[in-house]
Structure 1
Amino acid sequence: MFVNAAFALSLLSATYALTIGRRDDQPSDADLLASCPGGPGSSVVEKADRCTLINIANNPYIRVWSVLGDPQLNCGGGTEDIVVTLGGSTTVEQTTEVNADLGVDLDGISIGGGVSTSSSSSSTESQTIQYNIPPGQQAVYVAGIEHTSQTGNIQVNYGDRQFGHFIWFTGATVTQLTPNSNDVEYTVLQTACGTDPRDVSSLPQ
């Protein structure tokens, strides 16, 4: 009886070890995200039918600033203001960021399930103004577009089994920023000559 019990325990341990070993036999988060529609694809899994944001947490809204048109400069050493036309147009797309360095370019990847499912995932803004630039200064017109921020995991659905399953979930979380075209602020960003006129980091989010 002792021998049988020892054999059963040994078999159970071997089965447990084999089960643990299988945990490595699965696609990585990088492969899962790369296989999403619009992604670069993966050599490990086929293209996914769809990717969906799940376990969604709503973050505070943030304002993302974008430059409209080209900066205008009064940096030629003159002593008078110059009158210029500032502005232009820009299109702001939904952005997706992952909370880990997976080495996957997420630009263009299509992920549903969040706020972008019920609203547009892009916003085009266009506006111009006349503006006086003092000597030694430069200016550019900018648009601050409110973005909805949502964080969650990604559910990846496949048409055929991948590593034994039709559905996989990422362990890594991603954050989606979706522009809201109904909440846009415009302002002139004026800075000293010799600095980057397109640097919007000083503007509030």
Structure 2
Amino acid sequence: MSKKILFIVGDYVEDYEIMVPFQALQAVGYVTDAVCPGKVPGETVATAIHDFEGAQTYSEKRGHNFRINADFATVDPADYAGLVIPGGRAPEYLRLDPKVLELVRAFADRPIAAICHAAQLLAAADLLRGRRVSAYPACAPDVGLAGGTFVDIPVDAALTDGLLVTGPAWPAHGAWLAQFLAVLGAKISL
């Protein structure tokens, strides 16, 4: 089995939701590749920092620039053991790209980790039908309309349904990454 994980990102991907899993998976031995339609390796996407500061929804601030390291136009899904879809605002517009949807569907029978607003992209790719899914609560209608069941869990928890691991937002990273590694069948020795 491949030790490579693919990330699909776009401008205003949530900063923690790309930076943390991208580096954490490297730390346990995976090769992590990030692609973005319309961008080539070496170019960057802008990130956004979403925080929970007591308002009725999250706040948003400009984050870092995240460097793309693989080419969307030539990526072969067969080279990867799994897919990670971070949240933020990127999934909202990435779901409009038929080639992105085709790439996501190529992972239908492999491990997928999706967090926060990534449910929007999975819904558009028709990968939520009959699945139990967590996401940012504002995505509950997207999950339901796509035939999935939205499960409201604590913000620091994650949910596994078969090979799909989902979480509501970046505070779930510990649980979300642990469950994704379990689904990948990772063996970690320190």
Question: Structure 1-normalised TM-score?
Answer: 0.21
Question: Structure 2-normalised TM-score?
Answer: 0.22
Task: Pick the structure with more strand per residue.
Answer: 1
Q: Which has the higher contact order (CA 8 A, sep 6+)?
A: 1
Question: Which structure has the larger Rg over C-alpha atoms?
Answer: 1
Task: Pick the structure with more helix per residue.
Answer: 2
